[in-house]
């Protein structure tokens, strides 16, 4: 039942909304909203020669979301997530699993966890 509630909450979020953590600290702004996909399949980026065509080269170097370790990527894709632009992480972005979103009120996303717990983009 919680996942259905998570999806109803995430459906009210749009890019550019400010994100506040459980301690009231402004984390940053929503950069990407990804709803749950229970059938999502994670694929590791191939390490072999990408081929000779320009299209193959571009595809092999494209950043795929979410840019985190495979086990976390699978969890995020299956449950839904936000990507948040922030100055709190050296990489400039963190990810918020849908089940860590507390409320969406007054045009703001409030989290159930402190910012320090959010996984950073790699």
Domain boundaries, the chain: 2-46+64-117
Architecture of the CATH domain 2-46+64-117: Roll (2.30)
- For the chain, 122 residues long, the average pLDDT of each consecutive 10-residue run is 72 97 98 89 52 56 79 94 96 97 97 97 94
Q: What is the DSSP letter of 91?
A: T
| 3-state SS, residue 73 | helix
pLDDT at 61: 47
Tokens found for residue 23:
């301690």
Contact at 8 Å (CB) between 63 and 3? no
pLDDT at 38: 81
């Amino acid at each position: 039942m919680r996942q259905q509630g998570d999806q109803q909450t995430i459906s009210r979020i749009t890019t550019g909304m400010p994100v506040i953590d459980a301690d009231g600290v402004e984390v940053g702004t929503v950069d990407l909203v990804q709803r749950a996909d229970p059938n999502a399949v994670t694929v590791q980026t191939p390490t072999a020669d990408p081929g000779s065509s320009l299209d193959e080269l571009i595809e092999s170097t494209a950043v795929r979301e979410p840019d985190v370790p495979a086990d976390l990527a699978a969890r995020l894709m299956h449950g839904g997530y936000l990507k948040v632009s922030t100055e709190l992480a050296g990489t400039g972005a963190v990810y918020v699993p849908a089940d860590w979103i507390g409320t969406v009120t007054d045009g703001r996303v409030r989290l159930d966890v402190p910012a320090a717990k959010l996984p950073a983009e790699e």
